[in-house]
A and B are shown apart, each in its own frame.
Chain A
């Protein structure tokens, strides 16, 4: 009987669903699926046409930053940042290896998380994009003229650089907060003495407005909580920065139990302008440190790495009025500020509700000392007095909120796999759409600014399962594009991503496309080993080091025959691309190289080291199909025994 009821039950449900579908079919103009809702048309960018937006998506555990066009979802480029990239030699060539230097030595990988585009007056300006390395704490700056990583600064006293890299509204600072608290300075001590002894650093990195050069202005040394995510105040709250915290219990083990005991954790509100003034007047304590600052010079095409030996720290107790705690329910993850700067949203990942704090009320609570105790001397503001509102039961597992600039907010829910649109101010839920599957961050172009471009919402999903053709147990992550120009969100497109897209930043293409460089000028090439014409090509021995000053142009290397190299030598191929034509890079690869190839763009010089181990005559060739005679673009190096007397010689086109 039970069985037959079950069968009946499913039949009836199925019938119901089918009839629903029929209903859909009958809707005429709307019809069923993407075709009738013209989703295809809305994401179609015809061959030769350009996308409307650049979207920069973090490569997650690939360590890189990927560039996509929106709305097409076409991948334009993967920009190497924290990981070596054999595709173009980044991190393998002598010029770029220093970019990956740290106080731990050469670190060829990281976990890249949160890109953020530079701003002026709270609006995207398209000069640079910054992104954090989470594992070995670093911040990178990528220039949007060259689409190249130009600078990486290591963050001392940090571990798990997660609440990073978010910028203030005039790009005064790039901010990097530590996820893991650690002993500061590091020392050998028992782990179970964590409480009260471990500290969390929040680092404010100033940015030179001309060059973009970064330098640590100060580090705020906070209580030993986990600092999860952050966002700057903007407009009326410009001058403040907000960080979510969890593990205010200061547990050091089994955090999934022990860090969920407090009903509320905090959002830390930092008045950085007050601290800046304090520091400018000589405040703070310079302490010993050791961290790398790596800078790529555009003219030598070469990066240098400098180890810096001290950092300015600030104890929040020394700057009255600089730091407050806003109680926020249950291990908040995302910390988001609306475009007006008034509302600070705590996405409590274990809470069923979203908590919204009011900046105005916060200032009032500070002014009138509406405190609810303190933590390590830092005043805790009264929850009820700063609360602007609560979005009730919008979904399960809220992570992040973005804004469309039209008074709406969009929150991602990991557990219930959906995006929920709600009204800022009334806190009512307006729409919800499922995502496929398990969304992390969401992104609206200009989302971290006063002026979002509220046309698209991109869901950055952790799980794809059956969304694409299967590729074995290891699957891609994905992005999903929603049109949010109407009252309801409409899913337009799925596309796969590289690594895990933790966060993304997008900008109208017109703001940066026109600035994109086409070639490097040879006349400006100051590389010390450049061979800017054939008279400058040569091969020079210095002990067992052999330096080859080589250049390349369609379709040969100069020189292309080299003799006198011996087993045990360390051979430096310094190669200059003489082309001054758009989109004519040349590649270089040599047999048995223990590193990678290198791709040399017009006007640049790059260096690959080769350590031949076997006697013989060994070829090298161009790896990038550069021209009709690409297959002719090759050469030989003769490698003689270590005790050979053959002199160095080099030639091109001689018998």
Chain B
């Protein structure tokens, strides 16, 4: 666990600095660059950065506050998806635990967190998000849910247990902009 955290830490730090570097180089380019006004805005603005301690926590804040989801949070930050998770939504996030990430073959997480895999990582994470807000019980009405990745995840019921894309819902936390279902597996997209 410690090693993974360290790795995440190191790769994120690299990522952030690498991003800066990339920018300064493209800045010398011609047509491709963004204006600096926009650049600054996209870095530290957006709904994820609003100070608001009065509202019910949103799905991102719930994940940030959970000691069982540090890997997920790191991945969301690496993929730059913070602002997508604080939207009006409603958003239903299937949040794999740290244990779910640890169960992956060695090196998988480290590999995904590499800057060059940012899009791939974002695609996988988007496969854990459904536009909607349904309780575990209500989800039993569905045969499938459409994920933000564009793919569908199959919903299966086994006794009291509900599985989405093969991942079992362990617990559910209502959020200001939806709901977080804690799951025991990564929901890998078919593509």
Report whether A30 and B16 are in contact in the complex, using a CB–CB cutoff of 8 Å: no
Given A12-B9, A257-B141, A396-B126, CB of A352 within 8 Å of CB of B150: yes
Q: Which residues of A contact B149 (CB under 8 A)?
A: 352
Interface centre among A20, A433, A437 (most CB of B within 10 A): A20
In this complex, how many residues of chain A approach chain B with their Cβ under 8 Å: the count is 56
Q: Given A39-B37, A260-B146, A417-B87 in contact, is the A5-B46 Cβ separation under 8 Å?
A: no
- Indicate whether A463 reaches chain B with its CB closer than 8 angstroms: yes
Q: Assess whether A353 is in contact with B150, with CB atoms less than 8 Å apart.
A: yes
Contact check, B87 vs A415: say whether CB atoms are below 8 A apart. Answer: yes
Q: A16-B19, A352-B126, A466-B50 are in contact. Are A396 and B84 (CB under 8 A)?
A: yes
Bound-state CA distance A34–B77 (Å) is 27
- C-alpha spacing A37/B13, complex, angstroms: 30
Which residues in window 252-268 of A have CB below 8 A to B? Answer: 254, 256-257, 260-261
Q: Which of B20-28, B104-112, B162-170 contacts A (4 or more CB under 8 A)?
A: B20-28
Asked if residues B16 and A12 are in contact (CB atoms below 8 Å), the reply is: yes
Residue from the set B46, B52, B150 with the largest chain A CB neighbour count within 10 Å: B150
A230–B67 Cα gap in the complex (Å)?
Answer: 48
Q: Count the B residues whose beta carbon is within 8 Å of the partner chain — how many?
A: 55
**B2: which A residues are within 8 A, CB to CB?**
1
Whether A19 and B20, one on each chain, are in contact in the complex, defined by CB atoms closer than 8 angstroms, is yes
C-alpha spacing A472/B47, complex, angstroms: 18
Q: Binary interface profile of A, 1-27, with partner B (CB < 8 Å = 1, else 0)? A: 110011011001100110111011001
Given contact pairs A12-B16, A24-B40, A34-B37, A463 touches B126 in the complex (Cβ within 8 A) = no
Chain B stretch 50-102: residues in CB contact (< 8 A) with chain A: 50-52, 67, 70, 77, 83-84, 87-89, 91
Q: Is A204 an interface residue (CB 8 A)?
A: no
Contact status A396-B148, CB under 8 Å: yes
Cβ distance B41 to chain A, nearest Cβ, rounded Å: 6
Kindly provide the distance from the CB of A122 to the nearest chain B CB, expressed in whole angstroms.
Answer: 31
A490: chain B residues at CB < 8 Å are 35, 37-38
User: B158 an interface residue at 8 Å Cβ cutoff?
Assistant: no
Mostly, the A contact residues are loop
Closest to A329 in B: B150
Q: Are A417 and B83 in contact (CB under 8 A)?
A: yes
From the candidates B13, B24, B34, B150, name the one contacting A393 in the complex (CB within 8 A): B150
A595 CB to nearest B CB, Å:
38
A13 near B12 (CB under 8 angstroms)? yes
Q: Is B35 a contact of A8 with CB atoms below 8 Å?
A: no
A415 → B minimal CB distance (Å): 5
Q: Which of A8, A16, A17, A415 contacts B9 (CB 8 A)?
A: A8
Q: How far is the CA of A73 from the CA of B1 in the complex (A)?
A: 53
Q: Mark B3-25, 1 if CB is under 8 A from A, else 0.
A: 00110110011001101100110
Question: Which residues of chain A are within 8 angstroms of B32 by Cβ–Cβ distance?
Answer: 487
**Contact (Cβ within 8 A) B40 A32:** yes
- Interface centre among A1, A34, A415, by most chain B C-beta atoms within 10 angstroms, is A415
Q: Render A438-471 as a binary contact track against B, CB cut-off 8 A, 1 for contact.
A: 1000000000000000000000001101100000
Report which of A260, A352, A396, A491 forms a contact with B38, defined as CB distance below 8 A.
A491
Is A621 on the interface with B (CB-CB < 8 A)? no
Most buried by B among A24, A256, A436: A24
Asked if residues B47 and A415 are in contact (CB atoms below 8 Å), the reply is no
Is the beta-carbon distance between B31 and A16 smaller than 8 angstroms?
no
B83 touches A9 (CB 8 A): no
Contact B33 A488 (CB under 8 A): yes
Of the residues A260, A351, A436, A438, contact of B45 by C-beta under 8 Å: A436
Q: How far is the CA of A422 from the CA of B172 in the complex (A)?
A: 39
Q: Any chain B CB within 8 A of the CB of A324?
A: no
B contact residues around A19 at 8 Å (CB): 17, 20
Alpha-carbon distance between A397 and B9 when the two chains are bound, in angstroms: 31
A30 near B38: Cβ-Cβ < 8 Å: no
Nearest chain B CB to A257 CB, angstrom units = 6
User: What is the 8 Å Cβ interface bit string for chain A, positions 404-438, against chain B (1 contact, 0 not)?
Assistant: 00000000001111000000000000010110111
- Taking a contact as CB atoms closer than 8 A, the residue among B23, B44, B87, B132 that contacts A23 in the complex is B23
Q: Which residues of B contact A466 (CB under 8 A)?
A: 50-52
| Contact yes or no, B34 A488, CB < 8 A | yes
A32-B36 contact given A352-B150, A434-B42, CB 8 Å threshold: yes
Chain A residues positioned under 8 Å from B126 (CB to CB): 352, 396
Q: How far is the CA of A487 from the CA of B31 in the complex (A)?
A: 7
Please tell me if the beta carbons of A12 and B148 are within 8 angstroms of each other in the complex.
no
Cβ–Cβ < 8 Å partners of A433 in chain B: 34, 38, 42
Q: Is the CB of B27 within 8 A of A27?
A: yes
Chain B residues proximal to chain A, CB less than 8 Å? 2, 5-6, 8-9, 12-13, 16-17, 19-20, 23-24, 27, 31-47, 50-52, 67, 70, 77, 83-84, 87-89, 91, 123, 126, 131-132, 134, 141-143, 146, 148-150
Question: When A and B form their complex, which 9 residue pairs have the shortest distance between CB atoms, in order from nearest?
Answer: A16-B16, A352-B150, A12-B13, A30-B36, A37-B37, A20-B20, A487-B31, A466-B50, A490-B35
Selected A-B contacts with CB under 8 Å, 27 pairs = A9-B8, A9-B12, A12-B12, A12-B13, A13-B16, A16-B16, A17-B16, A19-B20, A20-B16, A32-B36, A36-B36, A36-B37, A260-B146, A396-B126, A396-B148, A415-B148, A416-B83, A416-B84, A416-B87, A434-B41, A436-B47, A465-B47, A465-B52, A466-B51, A466-B52, A487-B32, A488-B33
18 further A-B contacts with Cβ under 8 Å, apart from A13-B16, A434-B45, A466-B50, are A1-B2, A9-B8, A9-B9, A16-B13, A16-B16, A19-B17, A23-B23, A27-B27, A36-B36, A256-B132, A330-B146, A352-B126, A417-B83, A431-B34, A436-B45, A438-B88, A465-B52, A490-B35
